[in-house]
Structure 1
Amino acid sequence: MGIELELHSGRPARGRSSPNTLLRGSYQHGEALARALSTLDRHGSGKLGWVDPYGDTLFNEQEARVALQEVTALAQRCADERQKNALLDLAELLEACAATPGSHLWFMGD
């Protein structure tokens, strides 16, 4: 199980990556990211708990802004170095998404 990330300048086509909108991808932290996010309550009030480790989840710029606060707190509590690196990479993508009007961050689960 792993989660790959892609930042797109617009909403990507459903179920496939679009090279026309792809700004940046993160593919090296999949398993560590999935493990780090699995500690969150899927039914809680946070945005990151919504990420489906087996399917696709899409955040717009407003959702990314909210999730950025969550991932920062999660990374500070994380003791596993691989998971912490995955969360820091996610934080960079969330920050870029929040700062780019019309962008979307795509979480691609296995």
Structure 2
Amino acid sequence: MRTKEEEEEEEEEEEEEEEEEEEEEEEEEEKKKKKKKKKKKKKKKKKKRKRRVGGGGEGEKDKSNMFVSALCQIEAESDQCPVVASESALRSTGTFRRGFEPRHRRPDLMESLKA
């Protein structure tokens, strides 16, 4: 027969073993959680697309056409025109029109400016 001391020792040993097993299981669970967290961190973030603001070139052309038509209107209303755009400037903006002559091609306008 076993003595009470031996039985107590065995029970203590069994309890210790159970505690150790529980601790090992907890450690394994923590490791799994850490691995999952690491996997989440490794995912790449999607880049946001940059959206272009404003319309295309049509709006700019409309504005410059309005500028040219305003100049033509000023010329028609008065004999003296303070500012007339040059042909090269109008061609560079793509707004050169037939019928719109710059200052150096209109002698009547130049004479009115000199007077």
TM over 0.5: no
Counting helix residues as a fraction of each chain, which structure ranks higher? 2
The two structures have a TM-score, normalised by structure 2, of 0.25
TM-score by length of 1: 0.26
